[in-house]
Amino acid sequence: MGLTAYAAGRPSALLVGVPGAAAVRLAAEAEVRRLGWASASSPASASVLVVCGDPGPSLAAAIDAAWNGVPSPRADVRLSSPGTVRAALADVPATLADLPGQRASAVTGSWRPPAAAEPEHGHGHHMTGAVHGLAMAERADDRDGLKLDVLHLPFGPVLPYWPDGLQIRMAVQGDVVQSAEAAFLDPSGPDFWDEPGARRRAAAHLDALARLLGVAGWRAQAERARLLRDAALDGTPAATLLPRATRFARRVARSRTLRWMTDGLGVHARLLARLDATTTALAHLDDPEPLPPEPDVLGVLPSLLAGRDLAAARLIVAALDPRP
Amino acid sequence: METFVAVVALAGLGGALITAVYALSFLTGVRGTLGVAPFLSGGVPREHALSRFHVRWYAVTMVFLAFDMEMIFMYPWALVVASMGTMAVVEMFLFLGLLLLGVLYAWREGAFRWA
Amino acid sequence: MTLDAFLLLAAALFSVGLYGALSQQSIVMLMMGLELMVNGIVVAGGAFWYYIAPGAADGQVLVLVAVTVMALEMAMGFAVVTALFRARDADLTDDAEDLRG
Amino acid sequence: MTPVWTVVALPVALGVLTLLAASGNAVLGAAASGAPAPLRHWDDPLRAAARALVQQRRRTFAADRLLSRVGVVTLPVAALLAAVVLPLGTRAVADWSVGVVWFNAMEVATWAAVWLTGWGPNSAYALVGGYRYLAQGLAYELPHMFALITVALGAGSLNVTRVADAQDGLWFGVWMPVAFAVYLVSALAMAFWGPLAHPVADDVASGAAVELDGPDRLVFAVGRYALLVVAAAAAVPFFLGGGAGPWLPAPVWTLVKTLVVLGALLWAGHRLPVLRMDRFLEFAWIVLIPASLLQMLVVALVVLD
Amino acid sequence: MQVAAFWALAVTAVASGVAVFRVDSMARATFALLASFLCVGGLLLLLDLHYLGALVVLMMIMEMLVMAVFMVMYMMNPAGLMPMTMIHNGRWALGISVAVFAALAAGIVLTPWPPRRGAPPDDPTYALGEAIMGPKMLVMMGIGLAILATMIGSVVLSTDRGRYDREDPR
pLDDT for D248: 87
The answer, for C39 touching chain E at a CB cutoff of 8 Å, is: yes
Is the predicted pLDDT of residue A227 greater than 70, yes or no? yes
* Contact check, Cβ <8 Å, A136/E170: no
Cα distance between residue A20 and residue A29, in whole Å: 16
Contact list in B for residue A151 (CB cut-off 8 A) is 47, 49, 51
Q: What is the pLDDT of residues A16-30, one digit of tens each?
A: 999 888 999 999 999
The stretch A124-142 carries a mean pLDDT of 70
Query: In Å, how far is A143's CA from the nearest CA of chain E?
Result: 9
**Helix (H, G, I), strand (E, B), or coil: what is residue E81?**
coil
* Contact check, Cβ <8 Å, E28/D66: yes
* Contact check, Cβ <8 Å, E160/A145: yes
The stretch D153-160 carries a mean pLDDT of 93
Cα distance between residue D106 and residue E132, in whole Å: 26
Note the Cα E70 to chain centre separation in Å: 16
pLDDT for C4: 92
Chosen from C28, C84, C85 to mutate, greatest number of chain A CBs within 10 A: C85
Q: What is the pLDDT of residues C30-48, one digit of tens each?
A: 999 999 999 999 999 999 9
Alpha helices in D120-213 (DSSP H): 124-155, 160-165, 172-175, 177-190
Query: In Å, how far is D268's CA from the nearest CA of chain B?
Result: 27
Contact list in E for residue A144 (CB cut-off 8 A) is 160
The stretch E71-80 carries a mean pLDDT of 84
**Helix (H, G, I), strand (E, B), or coil: what is residue A75?**
strand
Q: Using a pLDDT cut of 70, give the percent of chain A over it.
A: 94
Query: In Å, how far is B92's CA from the nearest CA of chain D?
Result: 10
pLDDT for E166: 56
Cα distance between residue A200 and residue A244, in whole Å: 17
Cα distance between residue E37 and residue E62, in whole Å: 12
The stretch A184-189 carries a mean pLDDT of 79
How many residues appear in chain A? 324
Q: Which of A62, A114, A144 sits opposite B42 (nearest CB)?
A: A62
CB A282 within 8 A of CB A232: yes
The stretch D15-20 carries a mean pLDDT of 96
Residue-by-residue DSSP string for A180-191? EEEEESS--SS-
- Restricting to B residues 25-44, those with a Cβ less than 8 Å away from any Cβ of D are 25, 28-41
pLDDT for C101: 59
Domain containing residue D19: 4-304
* Residue D229 CB neighbour total at 10 angstroms: 28
Q: What is the rounded end-to-end Cα distance, in angstroms, of chain D?
A: 35
**Helix (H, G, I), strand (E, B), or coil: what is residue A162?**
coil
Is the predicted pLDDT of residue A323 greater than 90, yes or no? no
Chosen from E97, E116, E132, E148 to mutate, greatest number of chain C CBs within 10 A: E97
Q: What is the rounded end-to-end Cα distance, in angstroms, of chain B?
A: 53
Cα distance between residue D216 and residue D58, in whole Å: 10
Q: Which residue has the higher pLDDT, D160 or D4?
A: D160
Short-list D108, D177, E133, CA closest to B74: E133
Closest residue in D to A112 (Cα–Cα): D61
β-pairing, A148-155 vs D58-60, is unpaired
Is the predicted pLDDT of residue A86 greater than 90, yes or no? yes
- The arrangement of strands across the sheet holding A166-173 comes to A138-140, A148-155, A166-173, A176-184
* Contact check, Cβ <8 Å, A136/E160: no
Answer yes or no: is the ipTM higher than 0.95: no
* Contact check, Cβ <8 Å, C75/B62: yes
* Contact check, Cβ <8 Å, D273/A258: yes
Range list of β-strands (E), chain D: 58-60, 87-88, 91-92
CB D96 within 8 A of CB D57: no
Q: What is the pLDDT of residues D235-255, one digit of tens each?
A: 999 999 888 888 888 899 999
β-pairing, A38-39 vs A12-17, is parallel
CA–CA distances in Å: residue D14 to residues A97, B10, D6, D8: 32, 12, 12, 10
The stretch A62-87 carries a mean pLDDT of 92
pLDDT for C27: 87
Fold of A2-105: Rossmann fold (3.40.50)
* Contact check, Cβ <8 Å, B52/E151: no
Query: Predicted confidence band at A298 (pLDDT cuts at 50, 70, 90)?
Result: confident
The stretch A163-190 carries a mean pLDDT of 88
pLDDT for D273: 94
Q: What's B44-109 look like in SS3?
A: CCCECCCCCCCCCCHHHHHHHHHHHHHHHHHHHHHHHHHHHCHHHHHHHHHHHHHHHHHHHHHHHC
**Helix (H, G, I), strand (E, B), or coil: what is residue A218?**
coil
Note the Cα A94 to chain centre separation in Å: 27
* Contact check, Cβ <8 Å, D211/A42: yes
Is the predicted pLDDT of residue A1 greater than 60, yes or no? no
Give the single-character DSSP code of D91. Answer: E
Contacts for A239-246: CB closer than 8 Å, 24+ residues apart: A241/A282, A242/A279, A242/A282, A242/A283, A245/A202, A245/A278, A245/A279, A245/A282, A246/A279
Contact list in D for residue B41 (CB cut-off 8 A) is 205
CB D89 within 8 A of CB D250: yes
Q: Which of A132, A146, A264 sits opposite E81 (nearest CB)?
A: A132
CB D59 within 8 A of CB B34: yes
pLDDT for A51: 94
Query: Predicted confidence band at B13 (pLDDT cuts at 50, 70, 90)?
Result: very high
Single-letter residue type at D31? A
The stretch A263-272 carries a mean pLDDT of 90
- Restricting to D residues 63-122, those with a Cβ less than 8 Å away from any Cβ of A are none
The stretch D262-291 carries a mean pLDDT of 93
C-alpha dihedral sign at E23, E29, E32, E37: positive
The stretch E48-68 carries a mean pLDDT of 94
Cα distance between residue C80 and residue C75, in whole Å: 9
pLDDT for A287: 78
pLDDT for A189: 66
Cα distance between residue D115 and residue D130, in whole Å: 4
The stretch A240-264 carries a mean pLDDT of 92
The answer, for C85 touching chain E at a CB cutoff of 8 Å, is: yes
* Contact check, Cβ <8 Å, E81/A145: no
Q: What is the rounded end-to-end Cα distance, in angstroms, of chain C?
A: 47
Q: Which of E25, E50, E62 sits opposite D97 (nearest CB)?
A: E50
The answer, for E135 touching chain B at a CB cutoff of 8 Å, is: no
Query: Predicted confidence band at A40 (pLDDT cuts at 50, 70, 90)?
Result: very high
Contact list in A for residue D267 (CB cut-off 8 A) is none
Quote the mean pLDDT of chain B: 91
Domain ranges in chain E are 1-79, 124-157
pLDDT for E167: 56
Query: Predicted confidence band at E159 (pLDDT cuts at 50, 70, 90)?
Result: confident
Short-list D106, D116, D261, CA closest to D190: D106
Q: Where in chain A is the domain with CATH 3.40.50.12280?
A: 2-105
Is the predicted pLDDT of residue D114 greater than 60, yes or no? yes
C-alpha dihedral sign at D148, D151, D157, D159: negative
Query: In Å, how far is E112's CA from the nearest CA of chain D?
Result: 34
Cα distance between residue D201 and residue D130, in whole Å: 11
Number of domains in chain D: 1
Short-list A136, E156, A96, D155, CA closest to B45: A136
Q: Using a pLDDT cut of 70, give the percent of chain D over it.
A: 100
Contact list in B for residue D158 (CB cut-off 8 A) is 75, 78-79
Cα distance between residue D139 and residue A154, in whole Å: 29
Segment among B20-34, B65-79, D18-32, E79-93 with least mean pLDDT: E79-93
Q: What is the pLDDT of residues B38-75, one digit of tens each?
A: 999 988 888 888 888 999 999 999 999 999 998 999 99
CA–CA distances in Å: residue D182 to residues D170, D187, D291: 19, 9, 9
Find all residues with CB under 8 Å of B96, minimum gap 6, and list them: B70, D293
Query: Predicted confidence band at A156 (pLDDT cuts at 50, 70, 90)?
Result: confident
Contact list in D for residue A223 (CB cut-off 8 A) is 33-35
Closest residue in A to E69 (Cα–Cα): A174
Q: Do chains C and D touch (3 or more CB pairs under 8 A)?
A: no
Closest residue in A to B25 (Cα–Cα): A3
Short-list A288, A295, A255, CA closest to A271: A255
The answer, for D293 touching chain B at a CB cutoff of 8 Å, is: yes
Single-letter residue type at A253? A
pLDDT for A170: 93
Quote the mean pLDDT of chain A: 87
CA–CA distances in Å: residue B88 to residues A52, B78, C64, D151, D163: 68, 9, 18, 17, 21
Q: Using a pLDDT cut of 90, give the percent of chain A over it.
A: 54
Contact list in A for residue E160 (CB cut-off 8 A) is 144-146
pLDDT for A119: 41
Q: Which of C68, C78, C79 sits opposite B69 (nearest CB)?
A: C68
Query: Predicted confidence band at E162 (pLDDT cuts at 50, 70, 90)?
Result: low
Q: Which of C5, C13, C61 sits opposite E131 (nearest CB)?
A: C61
Closest residue in A to B30 (Cα–Cα): A103
The answer, for E88 touching chain C at a CB cutoff of 8 Å, is: yes
Closest residue in E to B94 (Cα–Cα): E141
CB A146 within 8 A of CB B54: yes
Chosen from B10, B74, B93 to mutate, greatest number of chain D CBs within 10 A: B10
Contact list in A for residue E170 (CB cut-off 8 A) is 264
Q: What is the pLDDT of residues D53-103, one digit of tens each?
A: 999 999 998 899 999 999 999 999 999 999 999 998 788 898 899 999 999
CA–CA distances in Å: residue C71 to residues A21, A228, A322, B86, D88: 58, 54, 49, 30, 36
The answer, for D298 touching chain A at a CB cutoff of 8 Å, is: no
Q: What is the dihedral of CA D136, D142, D143, D148, to 10 degrees?
A: 120
CB C35 within 8 A of CB C74: yes
Q: To 5 degrees, how large is the angle CA D101–CA D105–CA D110? A: 150
* Contact check, Cβ <8 Å, D98/E51: yes
Query: Predicted confidence band at A181 (pLDDT cuts at 50, 70, 90)?
Result: very high
